[in-house]
Structure 1
Amino acid sequence: MQQNAEEKKVNILYFTSFGTLKGGGQRSLFYLLRGLNRDLFNPVVVCPEPGDLVDNLRALGIDTLVMPFKRFRQLSVSFVVWIFRLIRARRINLVHTDAPAETFYAGIAARLAGVPLIWHIRVSDAGPADRLLAVLATRLFMVASSLRMRFPSTPDDKLVPIINGIDVAEFDARPLVGIRGEIGVGSSTLLIGCVGRLEEMKGQEYLIRAVKLLSGRVGDFRILLLGAAEGNYRKKLMTLMRELKVDGYFIDLGFRQDTPGIIKELDFLVSASSFGEGLSRVILEAMAAGKPVVATAVGGAAEVIEEGLTGYVVPARDPQALSEAMLRLLTDPARRREFGVQGRRRVEDHFCLADNIATTERLYLEIMQSGR
C-alpha cells in the first residue's frame, strides 16, 4: 500500500542557484518546499554548493544533492547527461528551475526525457538567452506581473504571476533583537532599514545620496544596512559616504540571521533597487511586521505597495524623489503607524504563504494533467 502511494506522487526536481538561505529566492523556495503537500509531491533538490539551505532541506527529509552547475559558455554535454540520468533514476515528472544556466541545461535534459519544466523568474532585467529558455520551458512562473515585459514574444498563457507569500504567524513569533541597545541609540533616533546584499543592483549608493539631501533637515535617524557585501561595491559605498559626509548616519550590520527580528524594530524600510529586482521579499516582510516601505519602481514593488496607503514607490536612481518620500515618513509618526497597519492588513489579505503554496500546487497538477 505504501509503495502504491509513493508511486502516485508527483516527483519534482528543483534547481536553485545557491546552497545558502542568504537570498530571498532561496528563502522563498525553502518555504515552498517546507509547506508542500508531501502526500502529493515528492521534491528532489539540486544545489550548486553546500550551505544552510542544503542542511535545512535535508533536516526536513528532502532529498537534496550538491552538484556544481555549469555555465552557459562551458556548453557541458556531460551536465545535460547527468541531469537526464537523474530524471530517469528518480522518475521525475516535473522540473522547476530558477536561473538561466540551470534552466538551459535542465531544459534540454527535460525535453529529452519528455517531462515539463517550469522556469521561475525572479529578476526583471532581460537576459541574452531569454527567448531560447522560454521555448525550453513549459511554463514561466513570475514573482510579479510586471515581469511579463521581459518576455514580449512569449504567449501570455505561458506566463504565470505568483507573488511570494509570508507566514505572518511565524514572522510574529520571531523575537526582537534589541538592536537599539546593540548599536547604542535611544528611542528618539529613528531607525530605517535597507536589507539586501551590498551590490550595484540593490542601489544603496542612491540611498546614500538621498541621505545627503536629508542631512540637517530632520531629527536624528540611522540607516541600518543589512546584507552580505560584494567587496568592491562595499568599498565604493564607504568612500561615497565619507565624501558626502554622511557616514555617521549609516551602520553596516552585514548579513544577520536575526534580520526578521531587526525589521520588527525599524521605523520603516527602504528598498532602493536600481535595476533587475523582480520583487524584493523584504518588502513583504517589512509590511508583515507593520512597517511602512519606500521602494523604487523596479520589478513588482508597485504591485505590493499601495501608494500613499502602505508606503511610497519612487523612480529608480532618483535620490531627490527617494529623499522626499523618506522625509514624509521621517516627519510624520501618525502616517508611519497608519501605513504600517494597512501594510500588515494587505499582506494578510493578499500575500499569505499558504495561498502561495496552494496556487503553486494547483499549477503543478494542471501542468501534469495538460502536459503544457
Structure 2
Amino acid sequence: MSAIPRILAFVDLAPRAGGSIISLQLLAQGLAARRCPENGAAPCYRLAVILNAANPAVTRYRDSGAFAGGVQTIGSRQGLGDAYPALVEQARSSGALSRLRQAPTFKAAWQSAGMVVRLAREILPQARRLRAVLARQHPDLVHFNDIVPVSRAGILAASWLHRPIVCHVRALDPLTWFDRWLTRRVDGFIYISQAVADQQRRAGAQARRGLVVPNAVNLDDFPSALRPGALRQELSIAHDAFVVGSLGRLVTWKGHQVALTAFAALTQQCPTAHLLIAGAPDVAEPGLEHELRELAAQLNISDRVTFAGQRDDVPQVLATLDVLCHCAIEPEPFGRVVIEGMAARRPVIASAAGGVVEIIESGVNGLLVPPGDSAALAAALTDLWQHPLKAATLAAAGRQRVETHYTLAQHVAGVEAMYNDILGSVGP
C-alpha cells in the first residue's frame, strides 16, 4: 500500500441515526486508526463523508475526529417518501387506479414511468449536487453506505467522475430496472450477511466483486464493569425487576407488538417482569408509539412497560436488561442489536429469519423463535426467567461468539480487502 493516504469518500443520506450511521462511524474509527506499513506514523486513509443535512448524527460525526477530509452535508428527501403534486396524489389514491395498479402489466408500466419521473425530478438534480461535492474531495474511492435504491444519485455522480465505487448493501430490498442498470457501475459490493448477498443476486444485481463482511461492535464499548443500577433508577424500574428489553426504531416490521403480547403472557408467571422499549419513532410511522401504548393498555401492562425513546447510551441500556428480545416479523438483513446484546453479555432471544440465523445457534449462544410468534417468545422468556443458569450460559457463549466473529478489527480487515482489490486494479 502506498505511503500516501488514500482518500475515501463515504456517502450516507439516511435522515436519522439508524444502524447504517452507527456502523459507518465504527468503520471510520477503525480505518482512521490504520497506519501504513511503509511509514508507521502515516495514516493509510484520509476520510471524508457526505451526510443528509437533516440527520442529527452530523454533529457526532464532526466531533469524532475520524473524518480528516471533512463532514459535508446535502439536502435530501431520502427516507421521507416521494413528494407528488396534489393532483397526482389524488389520482394515486383513487380506488379505480389502485385496482388497476394490481394488474401485473399495468403495475410494471406504472413503476417504470414512476422511475423516469423520479429520475428527472429528484435523482439527476441530486446527482449533480453530489458530483460537485465529490469533485472537491478528489476521492480515490467512493463508498456508498447503503443499498443501490437509496444510492442512485451518488452512484451516478461517482461514475460521472470516473471514481471507483463500493456499495455497502445493508437491506433486503428489491431492485428496479434502473437499479439493476446501476449495479453495472459498481466496482464492489459489500454485503452485511449472506442472506443479503443471496437476495441481491436473486434481485438481479450484477456484481463485479462481492464480499460478505458482517457488521461489528467495538468491544471496548461493552466492558464487564457496566452495571444496571443507575439507569434503572433514572427510568423508575425496580432494582430487583426482571427486565426484558426491545431496542430499535419504532416501525411495525420490528415487531414491538409481538414483544408486548409475549411480555403480557410472561407477567402471568413472573411478578417482577418489566419491559423496556428503547427507540425513536420512525418518520414513516410517526403514530406507532401511540398505537403501542394503546396495546399495552389493552393488555393491562402499562405500569410494567417503559418507553425510553431514543437512547445514545446503548451499552448502558443493554446492561440494564436481563434478556434482550429481537422481535422482527420480517427477515432482518443482519441484526446489529443482536450482536450488541451478545457483546453486553445478555442472553438474546431473536426472530429466526434473515441474517440473524447466521449469528445465533439456538440453544448454544442464544434462542431463536419463529417471527411473529408471541406464544413462542413468551415461552422462551419464561424459560430464561425460570432458569437463570441457562440464561447466564447463553450470555457467556454469546459474548464469545462476538469476540471470535464480530470484532471491529475483523470488520475493518474485510472492508480493506475489498478496497485493496479495487484500488489495486485501477492503480494509484
- With structure 2 as the length reference, what TM-score do the two structures score? 0.79
**Distance of 2:232 and 2:241 partners within structure 1:** 9
Kept in 1: contact 2:214–2:406 (CA 8 A) = yes
Structure 2 unaligned blocks of 5 or more? 36-42, 79-114
**Distance of 1:317 and 1:306 partners within structure 2:** 19
Q: 2:255 aligns with which of 203, 218, 222?
A: 203
Bigger CA radius of gyration: 2
| 1:114 alignment partner in structure 2 | 162
Kept in 2: contact 1:142–1:162 (CA 8 A) = yes
| 1:268 alignment partner in structure 2 | 323
Q: 1:90 aligns with which of 122, 126, 137?
A: 137
* Stretch deviating more after TM superposition (191-200 or 154-163): 154-163
Q: Secondary structure at the match of 2:8?
A: strand
| 1:136 alignment partner in structure 2 | 185
Residues 201/355 of structure 1: CA separation in 2 closer, same or farther (3 Å cut): same
Letter in 2 for 1:26: I
| 1:309 alignment partner in structure 2 | 364
**Distance of 1:251 and 1:96 partners within structure 2:** 38
Residues 344/69 of structure 1: CA separation in 2 closer, same or farther (3 Å cut): same
- C-alpha deviation, 1:130, in angstroms: 4.7
Structure 1 unaligned blocks of 5 or more? none
Letter in 2 for 1:103: S
| 2:211 alignment partner in structure 1 | 160
| 1:45 alignment partner in structure 2 | 49
| 2:109 alignment partner in structure 1 | none
Q: 2:6 aligns with which of 6, 10, 19?
A: 10
Residues 101/64 of structure 1: CA separation in 2 closer, same or farther (3 Å cut): farther
Matches within 5 A, 1:133-282: 133-151=182-200, 152=202, 153-154=204-205, 158-172=209-223, 175-176=226-227, 178-230=230-282, 231-275=286-330, 277-282=332-337
1:155-177 alpha-carbon deviations (Å, 9 max, x no partner): 67633211111121232188546
- With structure 1 as the length reference, what TM-score do the two structures score? 0.90
**Distance of 2:225 and 2:131 partners within structure 1:** 41
Residues 157/291 of structure 1: CA separation in 2 closer, same or farther (3 Å cut): farther
* Stretch deviating more after TM superposition (162-171 or 282-291): 162-171
- C-alpha deviation, 1:10, in angstroms: 1.9
**Distance of 1:344 and 1:362 partners within structure 2:** 26
1:7-38 alpha-carbon deviations (Å, 9 max, x no partner): x3222211113365x31221110111112136
Q: 2:342 aligns with which of 287, 292, 297?
A: 287
- C-alpha deviation, 1:106, in angstroms: 1.4
Whether 1:66 and 2:61 are equivalent positions in the alignment is no
Kept in 2: contact 1:212–1:244 (CA 8 A) = yes
Which protein has greater RCO, CA pairs closer than 8 Å, 6+ apart? 1
Kept in 2: contact 1:191–1:224 (CA 8 A) = yes
Q: Secondary structure at the match of 1:193?
A: strand
* Stretch deviating more after TM superposition (323-332 or 51-60): 51-60
Kept in 2: contact 1:70–1:101 (CA 8 A) = no
Q: 2:20 aligns with which of 25, 35, 38?
A: 25
What is the identity percentage for the equivalent residue pairs of Structure 1 and Structure 2?
25
Kept in 2: contact 1:24–1:280 (CA 8 A) = no
* Stretch deviating more after TM superposition (201-210 or 180-189): 180-189
**Distance of 2:295 and 2:150 partners within structure 1:** 37
Q: Secondary structure at the match of 1:223?
A: strand
- C-alpha deviation, 1:280, in angstroms: 2.3
**Distance of 2:155 and 2:281 partners within structure 1:** 32
Number of residue pairs aligned between Structure 1 and Structure 2: 366
1:208-231 alpha-carbon deviations (Å, 9 max, x no partner): 122233341334211100111243
Q: Secondary structure at the match of 1:75?
A: helix
Letter in 2 for 1:11: I
